[in-house]
Amino acid sequence: MLPPKQWKRDVRFGTWNVRSLYRSGSLTTAARELARYKLYLVRVQDVRWDEVGTLRSGDYICFYGRENKNHQLGMGFFVHHRIGSAVKRVEFVCSGMSYIVLRVTGVISVF
């Protein structure tokens, strides 16, 4: 977890329909794009992987799930390694819904 002093900067969240991470090199390319935009947490759609698990790519940890044997749908979360220790749980509810639970200290504004 980041020391409180470093939390004074903006934390950027996003969502992205990657269309597919099934092609060779797609995971690395996606992680590079997220780093370019300085995003800390991104939910991705249409991952198209057959399993449920976790991978590391560049500065990101990728949590993915909702297996489908036909390489369709699927979703995941890219979490920057700096906040990776704050991840308490990742749940893939159904083909269109997932959530991530983070352990956070301090004041949070939600809108």
Q: Does 74 fall in a domain?
A: yes
CB atoms closer than 10 angstroms to residue 82: 13
What is the spatial distance between Cα 89 and Cα 101, in angstroms, rounded to a whole number?
5
H or E, element range at 33: helix 26-36
Q: Answer for the pair 48, 81: CB distance below 8 angstroms, yes or no.
A: no
Q: Which pLDDT does position 80 carry in this prediction?
A: 92
User: pLDDT by residue for the chain (111 residues), tens digit each?
Assistant: 555 555 556 778 887 777 777 677 777 888 888 899 888 998 888 777 777 788 898 899 988 886 566 655 678 888 999 888 889 998 888 777 888 888 877 655 554
What is the spatial distance between Cα 109 and Cα 52, in angstroms, rounded to a whole number?
31
Q: Which pLDDT does position 111 carry in this prediction?
A: 43
What is the spatial distance between Cα 66 and Cα 15, in angstroms, rounded to a whole number?
17
- Count of domains forming the chain: 1
What is the spatial distance between Cα 100 and Cα 63, in angstroms, rounded to a whole number?
10
> What's 92's domain CATH number?
3.60.10.10
Which structural domain range is residue 8 located in? 4-102
Q: Does 20 fall in a domain?
A: yes
Q: Does 107 fall in a domain?
A: no
Identity of the residue numbered 21: L
Which residues lie closer than 8 Å to 40 by C-beta, 6 or more apart? 11, 12, 13, 79, 80, 82, 83
